[in-house]
Amino acid sequence: MGFLEEIVRAVREEVARPSYLAELPAVGPAARPSLRAAVERDTARGAVLVEYKRASPGRPDPVLPARSVPEFVESVRRAGVTGYSCLATRSRFDGSPADVAELARSSDRPLLFKDFVVDPRQVEAARRAGASAVLLIARLGREGHLEHSLAELSRAAHEAGLEVLLEFHGKAELSEAAGVAADMYGVNVRDLDTLRLERETAGTTIAGARDRGFRPLLGLSGVEGPEDADRFWRAGVDGILVGTAVARASDPAAFLDTLRAARSRGPR
């Protein structure tokens, strides 16, 4: 069993539990700032989303340095980040919708609910937690992991007042965007089945996404330093998402500054 099948099975079990929504308020915030608008505003200088996560399963040492949500927000505040992402996946990532809710309370920046979304209950969790947007993964639709289609999940998100970030890895997945009302798009360098970083595959997918006019377009995962950020900027993305490297940085804000500095060498 590959990682993706394993994690989807675990997520289904978690979401099916009656207690799944128990830690969240019955009614979330009336409104959250738009993640799309924030990315578009910061495109010229390079939009940067930072991710709160406790573990990184694709690494030999998956457990990340412990920071509370408020400590994390404070550690990156000086960098003027575009927005946040927060892992809501319990299995292998040790995340939860409650982490998303705490992050929403700790910052007024836009917030992405990041999970392997297979069920409308996760969309409801994102709404209650106060997220601005929810991640949908094209590969889940392409490989038949979904009982509710990507189009149905995107409609549920919009009905809940959430934006949709649609993620691809391989170029063949771009066709899954048909019928999906996505507000933003992203290309994940990491193969979610093997957890390997496949930069050449991602580069081809980014080029294909740009050819189709998929914007705003984000580079997701695999940013360990300025060289990786520079690779994304040169490929023509509007923004990047950074997680593990920020968690491991001794000075997260200074680290994030080095990623934006590389933006001047990329196409605009």
pTM of the model: 0.95
| Mean pLDDT (10-residue bins), the chain, 268 residues | 91 96 85 95 95 89 90 95 97 95 95 98 97 97 94 97 97 95 96 92 96 97 92 95 93 94 64
Domains of the chain are: 3-18+34-263 (3.20.20.70)
* pLDDT score of 180: 95
Nearest to 223 by CA among 242, 246, 247, 204: 242
Contacts for 7 with CB less than 8 Å, ≥ 6 apart: 89, 91, 92, 116, 192
Structure tokens at 53: 């996560």
* pLDDT score of 268: 46
